[in-house]
Structure 1
Amino acid sequence: MEGFKLDRFGFCSLLCVILMLVSVSNGQLSPSENRILFQVQKLLEYPEVLQSWTNWTNFCYLPPSPSLKIVCTNSRVSELTIVGNRSSPSRITKTTSGPQGLSGKFSMDALFTVLTKLSNLKVLSLVSLGLWGPLPAKINRLHSLEVLNLTSNFISGEIPKQISSFQNLTSLVLSDNLFNGSVPDLTALSNLKELNLGGNHLGLEFPSLSQSLEALAVKPPVRKKEQESGINIGLILGIIGGVIVIAGGIVLLILIIVRRRTDTTEDANYERSIADKMSVRSSPKPAIDSRRVPQTMRSAAIGLPRYRVFSLEEIEDATNNFDSSNFMGEDSQGQLYKGWLVDGLVVAVKCLKLKQKHLPQNLMQHMEVLSKLRHRHLVSVLGHCIVTYQDHPNTASTVFIVFEHISNGSLRDYLTDWRKKEILKWPQRMAITIGAARGIQFLHTGIAPGIYGNDLKIDNILLDETLTAKISNYNIPLPLKTGSESPLANRLSSDDIAEKEDIYQLGILLLQVITGKMATFTSELDELKLELEKSLAEGPSGLRNVIDPSIRGTFAYESMRTTVQFAINCLSKDSTKRPSIEDVLWNLQYSIQVQEGWNSSGNLATHM
């Protein structure tokens, strides 16, 4: 009897172990697939729905969300659904100001190179994420795919013929994009039940389809008048008639539902019903430049007056004829004066002398770039004034740039004044450095062409009344050098080198924020960097001896450790080993998330 009890106990134990192993295998992704998902997050430029991902995120147990769904099977991703909030071709109008395509650095090929490593993926849905560029042929590497949904993006070019190689595909939805050309032969997709290609610019030829198809949505193209004589009218009418017959019952049902709706706003035009996809409508093309501007950068002009062109009289009145009492200083670009506009708004006016005579119309491309320098983390441009030579009234000599005025001091002021220093504990310092990084990201990728070599010194990080960081004295894209004829004039010879130089200066800024020491000389920086490297090896006690004493007890060790390590990476002597600005932001955001978790768990009393 006792032997039976032992055997039963052993059997139960074994069963528990098996159940635990099964649970772990289904509930934890392999490390390689974890890395793939983080790569996808980065390539999609950190959309809002993915911004909460951290190193501790368990992708197999994410809370239910209509915008994000990940299903794990045997430690591998079998379903990936991400729904963003960017605009799509059908939603673009002349007044559209919302987020559109991803930035100019986005690569569709790179994204699908990463996605095809998810070998067990059966459902892939990437909706309203601003994807642009042609759909790469390598998509056929997703051998297990059953559902593909790429609705409401800016994907262009022809639909690759390799898409017909998906033996298991049951649903193909590519609606509301910029596809053109003819639809490939899809008769090989024997399991296809749903096809939606509406809202594209596809050719006149009707696609060859499998007999298994149950739901069809293809937007009939609009014919040009000059093509009518060369097209078989009977064939076209027959095709359109066939499509209308197939959709007739569905259209009737949708119309009944629509009549019951009271909402007749513009958004009703964008419902994703099949009836809408069958309707004949033109889709305005998106503005190409807008693709460079990620969603997080669209708050540029919030709280700022409308950009305007000032007259010389207005500039002189604002500065009291450039009275010496309003002189604020001078840098390598020009002199800076304080001024007051007619409405009482305090501004800063920078006087830039052009080294070469320029026709005002030749400056317009520069002014176009200048007018876009409006962002929450920049000292934003409010307007400009072009002054011409008296003897050559059609030739420009000087440009006055009107900036917003930030009067609360610089980050240096706060870190060197012991009274102000007490205000800046670790969470506040993290917020300031993230703000500066976001300002740099906007200058690099938020406008075209990007602006680099931005003199990111601690004196040039100004703080407003809410301690929001604003970068001042950044590079102004104006032809200040002899012979310059484009907005690239005042940038360094190589964008790559200049971009990494900005990262290096951001590393110096992090170093100063962490230690509270205003090291500027190379020897001082090297010594401080070496101290930090040693402190990381020694653990919490070593780090405690290097950081600014005024922030002890206000930070989580993991948050500080991550920031220190990343500051060291930014200061690498080899510029190719310095991180990108996107990597900087990701790590800083991770660090502040750790800090917030530490704060909310009541650890503020735990001093390190």
Structure 2
Amino acid sequence: MARKHSPNTSCFRIILLTFFLCGLPCLSRALPATQIASLLRLAKLLENPTALSNWDPQTDFCNLPSSANLNLSCIGQTLVALQIVGNKNTVAVKPNIQTDSTQNNARLSDSFSSDELASALLKFPDLQILSLVSLGIWGAIPGKLDRLPSLKVLNFSSNFFSGNVPQRFSSLNNLQVLVLDNNALSGPFPEWLHALPNLEILQISNNMFSGGLPSNLSLFRNLNSLVVYGNFLTGSLPTSITHLQFVHTLSLSRNKLSGKIPDLSGLMNLQILDLGENEFGPEFPVFGNQLVEVVMKRNKLAGPLPSFLGKLKNIKVLDLSTNALSGSLPENILVLPNLETLNLSNNRLTGNLSFNLALSNSLTQLDISFNFFTGPLPHLLNKSWAGRILNFRKNCFTSRSQQQEPQSYCQSASTSLNSLHKRPNIAILVGIIAGIFALAAVLVILLVILVSSLRRRQQGANHGSSSCADSASLGVPSELLTQARYLSQSIRLGVLGAPLNRVFALHELEEATDNFSEAAYVGDGQLGKVYKGRLENGSAVSVKCIILDVKQDLKQLKSQIEILAKLRHRNLVCIIGHCLERETDEQQYRRLFLVSEFIDNGTLRSHLLNVSAESHQSLNWSRRLATVVGAGRGIQYLHTGVVPGIFNNDVKITSILLDHNFVAKVSDFGLGRLLHDSAKPAVNKMMPRTELDVHHRKMLLDKMDVYNFGLILLELVLGRPPTIEDPMAVTPTIKELDMLLLETVSRSDLVDPAIRTCMRESLCTVIEIAAKCLSDNPAERPSMEDVLWNLQYAAQVQDKVSGDFREEFPTYYLPG
């Protein structure tokens, strides 16, 4: 019997597996009475927000329709996802109106208890997603929520939580997303969060965290989104931030950080950089040309604009306003192909702009106001553009368009920025005042140091007499709780850290593939011909050429590609961009070129068949298990790691690619069903019609991927494709499967000779879970999570004896 792995004893593991197997035939959509009672209690504790107002004991919670304010998901007879959004937003109260009535309208009543809330939530022990947003919850975040070991996503944004983030959360080893934006949390940056091995997204913006960033940020090794804007952080940016190799979004704006920014050019995955409204400078930061958004407004950057800004081919937003940047404007910045917003206002830029100045077609907002530009106004700036905002006022252009300063004003500034025309006395006065303040600040610092020294001596003399009150945490005043805050715009998991979907021109792909030459041809993939190419920046890519039917909905197709390009996972082939082209000789067809990362070590099948002994290394049993566990993680991420899940991916063993480190990556996911009607799931006609609702259709899509994964596992055992009799049938027969289940596996001639020396228990576990995946009834097939649990157990059984290559398997599987 296949067994699941858990961190406890083997006896406990058997109990869990027995419960799972016995429960499969009698799966029910109804929650047990204890969980129904807890949901009703939860509604009462939250004072019945609108989304929960219709709940009663007869409510079928597992089949409630999802909405923007409510989403509940069940697996079997337990709740695994609880997402509630209320209307008690922290932005509803203005900071200058601080009355008890307005505060009570935004917060839950004084009788509310966050500890009771936690007690109600603990009745759902298998909870994986917990999101309680804008519900007016106040008090400390309850630390006992660490008793939810399966928790993957925790979102408490836009409430009134205060105090520290509970350090007990360091035991939530499965936590991937922690969102605590828009609260009143305080204390130092929660450095201990690096103990969470799977943490990928950390958002704690618009709180009251103070002190510096931790010096060992490199310990957050899997972090891809760090959003900490709107706090009271001070000090410099630690150099360890350059070791966050997976970081995609870095937002530290509206703090008091200062000093030189480390060289960020090594962060090849970084695409969104927001360091605005700090005190960085005067050196201009160095970063890579893959960035999509750069915000450095309201800092202390000085000197000329660096030349590398003209090489940011992917940049969409560049905001360098309100600094002390000087010199001329490199006009190649204005023609960057993807640039949409450029803000250089309130700087000290000088010189003339070319009358025939070119602007990028994608540029919609340009602001160069409050600089010292002179000469004639460029032709394009003097033109009215529908949908394009141009602001160039408060310069010295010889134009009556928008308000301009006289030429002499800017000429004086270009000669000496310290003696601005018409404002010399003001500049001198400002300098004198600044000097006085600086001197006063030095005296105050010396006085503080002296007083602190005296206090330390007194405390040293009276050490041991301090009371508990000396270390008590400070209460948060109601004025701070009612301050206006910005509501986070990136709460949803699918939106956080959205990567770029680059739109390539056809000539770029022709250059990359040497005009799609035979030398670049790799083979025929599931979706079309595949070519290897090399982009201008030197990175190797795979280019798939897909023929589209003329009836294809291009808008829907582009939207789907945009979603797929946002996915970043170790076991998924990363989609970089696409190109759409209409054939010139056959107008009824169009071509889609899908560009993704190039995986250089062939498919899993090629290694099993050992097609080329020179180029492909044969896989032993341990490595085969490590490979399918990696592929399974990628599929599970598609099912549960994104919202909504991506199902029916037509997974085949040829779509599992191996990189040079034998890490498995799933390719061709998500597009097959959209491109081909034939890829739609076949509905089992034997299933009762009453079960063909939305929930069960989703389950069928899930189980189709599980079925295909069972075929992959079977081929792993056989070393060759299994024989499928009558493949067009609703439930095709697999000849070898019945034989493997009936015979003694270790002696069977069916098993690949390369793995016959493996542990019998490990092999039996894989065969049995493969048989469950290939069950005729989709409802009886296990989830991908259960499949992975069994595979990890099989790998650990084998590894105890052989000590061969394996991945580090977590004790409890998490996608991502």
Q: Look up the match of 1:467.
A: 662
User: Structure 1 residue 180 and structure 2 residue 373: aligned?
Assistant: no
CA distance in 2, matches of 1:457, 1:359: 26
Distance 1:163 1:273, change over 3 A: closer
User: Structure 1 residue 582 and structure 2 residue 775: aligned?
Assistant: no
**Partner residue of 2:737 out of 526, 529, 545:** 529
Q: Look up the match of 2:761.
A: 558
Are 2:133 and 2:158, in contact at CA under 8 Å, matched by a contact in 1? Answer: yes
Q: Which amino acid letter does the alignment assign opposite residue 425 of structure 1? A: N
User: Structure 1 residue 452 and structure 2 residue 407: aligned?
Assistant: no
CA distance in 2, matches of 1:292, 1:51: 32
CA distance in 2, matches of 1:476, 1:433: 22
Q: Which amino acid letter does the alignment assign opposite residue 533 of structure 1? A: L
Query: Deviations along 1:316-361, whole A, 9 cap, x unmatched?
Result: 2122223344333445633333322223333221223332367976
Q: Look up the match of 1:573.
A: 776
Are 2:631 and 2:656, in contact at CA under 8 Å, matched by a contact in 1? Answer: yes
**Partner residue of 1:548 out of 743, 747, 752:** 752
Distance 1:387 1:598, change over 3 A: same
Distance 1:270 1:558, change over 3 A: farther
Are 1:217 and 1:277, in contact at CA under 8 Å, matched by a contact in 2? Answer: no
Distance 1:109 1:314, change over 3 A: closer
Q: Look up the match of 2:332.
A: none
How far the C-alpha of 1:133 sits from its partner, in A, is 3.5
Are 1:388 and 1:396, in contact at CA under 8 Å, matched by a contact in 2? Answer: yes
- Give the TM-score, by structure 2 length: 0.39
Query: Deviations along 1:438-491, whole A, 9 cap, x unmatched?
Result: 122233333444333333222332222111122233341685469xxxxxx975
SS in 1 for 2:754: helix
SS in 2 for 1:290: coil
Distance 1:432 1:385, change over 3 A: same
CA distance in 2, matches of 1:182, 1:440: 36
Q: Which amino acid letter does the alignment assign opposite residue 699 of structure 2? A: D
CA distance in 2, matches of 1:177, 1:473: 35
Are 1:353 and 1:480, in contact at CA under 8 Å, matched by a contact in 2? Answer: no
- Determine what percentage of the aligned residue pairs are the same residue: 32
Q: Look up the match of 1:407.
A: 600
Q: Look up the match of 1:440.
A: 635
Q: Which amino acid letter does the alignment assign opposite residue 735 of structure 2? A: E
How far the C-alpha of 1:584 sits from its partner, in A, is 1.2
User: Structure 1 residue 516 and structure 2 residue 516: aligned?
Assistant: no
Are 2:602 and 2:659, in contact at CA under 8 Å, matched by a contact in 1? Answer: yes
Distance 1:283 1:400, change over 3 A: same
Are 1:369 and 1:477, in contact at CA under 8 Å, matched by a contact in 2? Answer: no
Distance 1:467 1:600, change over 3 A: closer
Distance 1:287 1:574, change over 3 A: same
Q: Look up the match of 1:372.
A: 566
CA distance in 2, matches of 1:364, 1:496: 26
Q: Look up the match of 1:86.
A: none
Query: Deviations along 1:403-445, whole A, 9 cap, x unmatched?
Result: 2222322222222228588741111010111112112223333
Are 1:157 and 1:181, in contact at CA under 8 Å, matched by a contact in 2? Answer: yes
How far the C-alpha of 1:541 sits from its partner, in A, is 5.1
**Partner residue of 1:320 out of 514, 527, 548:** 514
**Partner residue of 2:619 out of 424, 432, 438:** 424
Q: Look up the match of 2:541.
A: 347
- Give the TM-score, by structure 1 length: 0.51
Counting only pairs closer than 5 Å after superposition, residues 204-219 of structure 1 correspond to structure 2 as: none
**Partner residue of 1:386 out of 555, 572, 580:** 580
Are 2:74 and 2:81, in contact at CA under 8 Å, matched by a contact in 1? Answer: no
Are 1:452 and 1:492, in contact at CA under 8 Å, matched by a contact in 2? Answer: no
How far the C-alpha of 1:376 sits from its partner, in A, is 2.4
Distance 1:600 1:480, change over 3 A: closer
User: Structure 1 residue 476 and structure 2 residue 671: aligned?
Assistant: yes
**Partner residue of 1:356 out of 550, 554, 564:** 550
SS in 2 for 1:377: coil
CA distance in 2, matches of 1:111, 1:478: 25
How far the C-alpha of 1:580 sits from its partner, in A, is 1.2
SS in 2 for 1:338: strand
Bigger proportion of residues as helix: 1
Distance 1:427 1:276, change over 3 A: farther
SS in 2 for 1:378: coil
Q: Which moved more, 1:584-593 or 1:468-477?
A: 468-477
CA distance in 2, matches of 1:446, 1:165: 29
Q: Which amino acid letter does the alignment assign opposite residue 468 of structure 1? A: V
Distance 1:511 1:270, change over 3 A: farther
User: Structure 1 residue 132 and structure 2 residue 83: aligned?
Assistant: yes
Counting only pairs closer than 5 Å after superposition, residues 209-288 of structure 1 correspond to structure 2 as: 263=212, 275=475, 279-280=480-481, 282=485, 284-285=487-488, 287-288=490-491
Gaps (5+ residues) in structure 2?
15-65, 87-105, 123-129, 139-155, 165-185, 188-209, 215-227, 234-471, 683-696, 727-731, 805-816
User: Structure 1 residue 290 and structure 2 residue 493: aligned?
Assistant: yes
CA distance in 2, matches of 1:557, 1:351: 44
**Partner residue of 1:310 out of 489, 498, 504:** 504
Are 1:444 and 1:499, in contact at CA under 8 Å, matched by a contact in 2? Answer: yes
SS in 2 for 1:385: strand
How far the C-alpha of 1:277 sits from its partner, in A, is 8.6
Q: Which amino acid letter does the alignment assign opposite residue 365 of structure 1? A: S
Are 1:360 and 1:396, in contact at CA under 8 Å, matched by a contact in 2? Answer: no
CA distance in 1, matches of 2:527, 2:618: 33
Query: Deviations along 1:105-136, whole A, 9 cap, x unmatched?
Result: 99767599759xxxxxxxxxxxxx9963389x
